Structure 1
Amino acid sequence: MYSRWKLAQKYIRYYLTAMNGKGHGVHSPFVFEFITHVLNDSRHYPAYDKVEARRQELLAEKAVIEVEDLGAGSVVSKTHSRSIASIARHAAKPPRYAQLLYRLVNYYQPETIMELGTSLGISTAYMALANPHAYVITGEGSNAIAAEAILNFNELNLPFIELVEGNFDTTLKEMLNSMPVVDMAFIDGNHRKEPTLRYFDQILPHTHNFSMIVLDDIHWSEEMEAAWETIKQHPQVRMSIDLFFVGIVFFREEFKVKQHFTIRF
């Protein structure tokens, strides 16, 4: 992973060179619509208060659990013993990006949603609340964290979320078998190149013209940047949007020319 200084340098470069996040000069109707109705949707949804209230409770939770980390590891902790508060502070998606996931689901209304990397379930809850009729399945590698996520789903009255515990290398196939197609996938686990590409390749046959895949921390490390570049160039990917901390790819065949957009967010 990059050092904080290196990441800050990359973010500054991104911010200075990215397309203005207001949609000015965008010639793609699809991207203009995305910027207008998703990126810049400033409405305050009731779900925000509901999930953020739960987040605040988790940030005050001093209980310590033993965490099995199957991915690239924690940025802030090298021990397997971690407090709930520490996980909530450092592993859960911050409000800005968790609420972006909410708006993506709210606007495009995917009926099947898959997540790899539940953590405490904050991002999962946001996506589930954005479309209560969707089938939501999420995978978490650490049994201890998965148990906490289930408690949070119950607290938020989201018992319909299906959580699968275990290493994605073995559970992803099971998860994919449980849904006819993947309308939306959020890949937020095991931040390394080879596993990220492998998960993408496994999900791909289950996508369709209107599917979208969101990838977390695409500039987190040299490996993740390499994975993102490979995914962008995949023949089935027709459009990609780089928001620095997350990347989104679309497969719409009506986009005759492959397009990549880096947008300030």
Structure 2
Amino acid sequence: MTFQILIDRFIIYLKYYFKAKTIYHIQSPLLFDFISNVFDQDQSYYAFYTIDAAYDSISNSQKTIPTDEFSNSHQQNGKSLAQFASTAASPKKISYDLFRLVEFQKAKAILEMGSCVGLSSLSMALVSNDCAVTSIEGNAFLAQESRELHQRFGVKNIKLHNQLFSQFFESRNNEKFDIILIDGDHNYQSTMNYIRHCLSALNENGIIIMDDIHWSKEMYKAWLEIQSMTEFTTSLECLRWGILFTNQNLSPQKLCYIKTIYKPWQIGLFA
């Protein structure tokens, strides 16, 4: 990672911080309910113990990602699975939020673009056996490791495809999804290309989650353009995610949310 990338990322986070508002600034009852149930609560679930155990399982792995065309082009080859997961996989707290989000949305069909090591798909699938998760991963080794992780913890409602994203959308049989999580190919052009495919695969009132929107200038540029698309009624910019809503009951708005702990003066009467 170059010094310039670090500077770019710092500037992006700074912009986010200064415009972000706490939950006390959220006027929409629907979005207030969404945020309070997904981000602003500390309720723990029994499934979190399974998520913790899955993280421990990956962090203790001694396996190494083999070299092939895909891993080489994505700078994954030669890294241990544990080392790769420490930087590429979402932190536990994000997986907890993902679990809460899926539960709150009562999602029955989910598409994950980018399985990584299988932790996010496992976290979403643990919400309910009735929730079908489809996960796409281009790296054959990571796809197999994800399958083994799911099997190890007895999770059977995940269908994992070792395909490129473009191949999946070409072969998709008109499946529709309540939630689509985009967590792969972190660059501007790829993200812009896939968002149209995602829209065509989204159920009415479905949501799209873009991961790592503050990761780079390219990802942030993509986020700013996508949130202005007329297909989305509301966008919610968070510390890590960009969430796009299609619910017609939401008034058109672009919101930027931050936890109260990071802006404690924005509470109650002082908001």
TM-score w.r.t. length of structure 2: 0.88
Q: Which of 244, 258, 262 does residue 264 from structure 1 map onto?
A: 258
Matched residue SS, 2:79: strand
What is the letter of the counterpart of residue 34 of structure 2? Answer: F
Segments of 5+ residues of structure 1 without an aligned counterpart are: none
Q: Which runs of 4+ in 1 moved over 3 A?
A: 67-74
Matched residue SS, 1:245: coil
**2-structure distance, mates of 1:59, 1:148:** 13
Identity %: 26
What is the letter of the counterpart of residue 137 of structure 1? Answer: T
Match of 1:50 in 2: 50
Q: Is the 8 A contact 1:66 1:80 kept in 2?
A: yes
Q: Is the 8 A contact 2:8 2:216 kept in 1?
A: no
**1-structure distance, mates of 2:24, 2:186:** 33
Segments of 5+ residues of structure 2 without an aligned counterpart are: 260-271
Match of 2:244 in 1: 249
**2-structure distance, mates of 1:239, 1:126:** 25
Aligned residue runs from structure 1 range 10-159, under 5 A: 10-20=12-22, 23-66=23-66, 68=68, 70=70, 78=75, 80-159=77-156
Q: Is the 8 A contact 1:116 1:189 kept in 2?
A: yes
Shift of 1:69: 7.2
Q: Which of 194, 201, 223 does residue 199 from structure 1 map onto?
A: 194
Match of 1:3 in 2: 5
Q: Is the 8 A contact 1:209 1:253 kept in 2?
A: no
Q: After the TM superposition, which of the residue ranges 52-61 and 113-122 deviates more from structure 2?
A: 52-61
Q: Is the 8 A contact 1:115 1:188 kept in 2?
A: yes
Shift of 1:57: 2.1
Q: Deviations over 1:177-210 (max 9, x none)?
A: 262x211000001011121122110121232332
Matched residue SS, 2:161: strand
Q: Deviations over 1:106-158 (max 9, x none)?
A: 11111110000001100000000113211110000100111100110001111
Give yes or no for the alignment of 1:229 onto 2:224: yes
**2-structure distance, mates of 1:67, 1:44:** 39
Shift of 1:29: 0.8
Q: Is the 8 A contact 1:216 1:247 kept in 2?
A: yes
Give yes or no for the alignment of 1:210 onto 2:212: no
What is the letter of the counterpart of residue 79 of structure 2? Answer: R
Q: CA RMSD in A?
A: 2.1
**1-structure distance, mates of 2:169, 2:118:** 18
Q: Is the 8 A contact 1:109 1:131 kept in 2?
A: no
Match of 2:182 in 1: 187
Q: Which of 162, 166, 169 does residue 169 from structure 1 map onto?
A: 166
**1-structure distance, mates of 2:40, 2:143:** 32
Q: Deviations over 1:194-234 (max 9, x none)?
A: 21122110121232332000001112112111211121111
TM-score w.r.t. length of structure 1: 0.90
